[in-house]
Amino acid sequence: MRQFFKYVLATIVGVIVLSIVSTLLLLALIAGLASSDKTITVAENSVLELKLDKPIGERGFENPLAGFTGGQASTLGLHELKTAIRRATKDGDIKGIFLNLELVQGGMASLEEIRHELLEFKKSGKFIVSYADAQSEKSYYLASVADKLYLNPQGTLEFNGLSSEPTYFKGLFDKLGVDVQIFRVGTYKSAVEPYFRTSMSDSARLQTSTFLNSINNAMLADVAASRSIAPARLKLISDSMLVHNADDAKRLKLVTDLGYYDQATDYMKGKLGLKKDAKLSLLDLGDYAKNNEDDLGSGTDKIAVVYAEGDIVTGKGGNSSIGSTRFAEAIRKARLDDKVKAVVLRINSPGGSSLASDIIYREVMLTKKVKPVIASMSDVAASGGYFIAMGCDTIVAHPTTITGSIGVFGVLPNLGPFLSDKIGITTDRVTTGKFSDFPTVTRALTPYEQQQFQQEINRIYADFTTKAAAGRNMPVERLRRFASGRVWSGTDAKARGLVDVLGSMDDALRIAARRAKLKEGDYRIQQLPRQKTFAEELMSSFGTEARQRAVKEEMGPFYPMYEQYKKLSEMRGAQARLPFELNVR
């Protein structure tokens, strides 16, 4: 009888929990649908406030239960953000933009596109005011376009150049007894260095220093133009770290005013002819962007924009990855649609699976035969990201785009010593042939197996460089001088013929329209692949993403190491990836 009541009680508790979860889902779904249908009325004398306090992606992503399920965080869409600024430029009720920026989470090319839109906004005669309690290098890059730059009198401004600090795991693997077997082609293909080195190789240091300086110089040139300070003077300020506090920033003319938030808003009230005790109408970017839906143009002809963002993987992939099946289908759909007259492939990817990259490349080549295909490189389009771009008719990159990394590697960990010596697990095997268990992670490869693995990597590298040379219309011997896994900035890549044009996404669209003989206003933009609906995103927030949060909370500061191990274990087949986990700050 006691067992009976036990099961009844468990059933009741389960029903209650299910009811609570279902209610939460329903409420979130209703709230989300209501929010998505909400139309914003803009009051007279409004100011559009840009906080940019979420990661910036190519397309916006809203996860209403991110805090509840631990799923992917919401992101600001670059396209939606640019569209909102353009609408504000023409909106008679909006008189200015307020940049309320501290930490900006976006790549340099994305910030360059936003900065360009802000400069266009200024040309309309409207004002831009920025304020920060503390300002990072990236947020200052955006804020430098402002007419008035307020910095908290006790605040700080980071202006000391860029850096990249990769993490190395050889010491950890040595302690665990994990032997990582590496196969690669290219002096500069340093994506695998964290697994067998404790510091940068000379070649990795050289290439990182080269592209970081190129990106930094481009940033300084933009800031110099906006602040009317000589580039050489700015570089001296940066290299010597002359900015230690807010007073230094004001004295060196990096900001115009030291003041608090209320003083910045009072200044804007004055610009609008309002009294200090009047209420300033600040319009939230997220609300204003809800009115963007009619920005994709008109007409029956279309230009398809295929957004490829994240790691390149085989299969369908997910929200933050480029699945070969899903993206090949998207490009194929654009090719077979007679109303699509040109395709723009927008790439923001460090690379990934060589096989997946080749599947997408094939669809690019087939599409190129029947209509123009233009590549638009965002923050990163390297290795596999370059692979899917190299077949396009024209490659457009920002000066600050990180690209190149034409190289291939393979990784196969030997976990045998770790399993047996550290946790007491052993394995045995029965095979029908000498190599039936190849490849395996529970023993070291034999010299013959290592030779076969390396030969396959060499073959894939030869295929990569041959196709890249054909796409770039240059002898393969010349292209290989710029390959070997080396990473370039967009500026340096163009100088070497790896990129055709330095420009933005809008430049890529103009080139596509011109090649397709389409006039401005006679076509509309079709965005591919299809994004999940709100309900689909809501349901996918549970499950694997909830598990990820649980693992993250359990492992705490060791989670990044777990992520590296997870990536290592998932690297099946040859990889075309950017060197190490690149984090420019």
Q: Which residues participate in catalysis according to the annotation?
A: 189, 383
Q: Give the span between the Cα atoms of 195 and 178, in whole angstroms.
A: 10
- C-alpha dihedral sign at 378, 383, 384, 386: positive
Q: Give the span between the Cα atoms of 313 and 352, in whole angstroms.
A: 6
Q: Give the span between the Cα atoms of 352 and 361, in whole angstroms.
A: 13
Owner of token pair 């692949």? 529
Helix (H) or strand (E) holding 492: helix 490-495
3-state SS, residue 236? helix
The DSSP-derived string for 45-106 is: TEEEEE---S-EESS-B--TTHHHH--PPPBEEHHHHHHHHHHHHH-TTEEEEEEE-S---S
Q: Are 431 and 410 in contact (CB under 8 A)?
A: no
Q: Which amino acid belongs to residue 582?
A: L
Q: How far apart are the first and last CA of the chain?
A: 65
Q: Give the span between the Cα atoms of 299 and 230, in whole angstroms.
A: 46
All residues at 6 or more sequence positions from 201 whose CB lies less than 8 Å from its CB, including other chains: 190, 193
Q: Give the span between the Cα atoms of 422 and 399, in whole angstroms.
A: 49
- Quick one: which of 584, 585, 580, 583 has its CA closest to 204? 580
Q: Give the span between the Cα atoms of 376 and 392, in whole angstroms.
A: 10
All residues at 6 or more sequence positions from 567 whose CB lies less than 8 Å from its CB, including other chains: none
Q: Give the span between the Cα atoms of 292 and 37, in whole angstroms.
A: 12
Strands 46-50 and 257-258 turn out to be: unpaired
Take residue 368 and report the two structure tokens written for it. 């190129």
Q: Give the span between the Cα atoms of 181 and 524, in whole angstroms.
A: 50
Task: DSSP letter for 410, please.
Answer: E
Q: Are 215 and 222 in contact (CB under 8 A)?
A: no
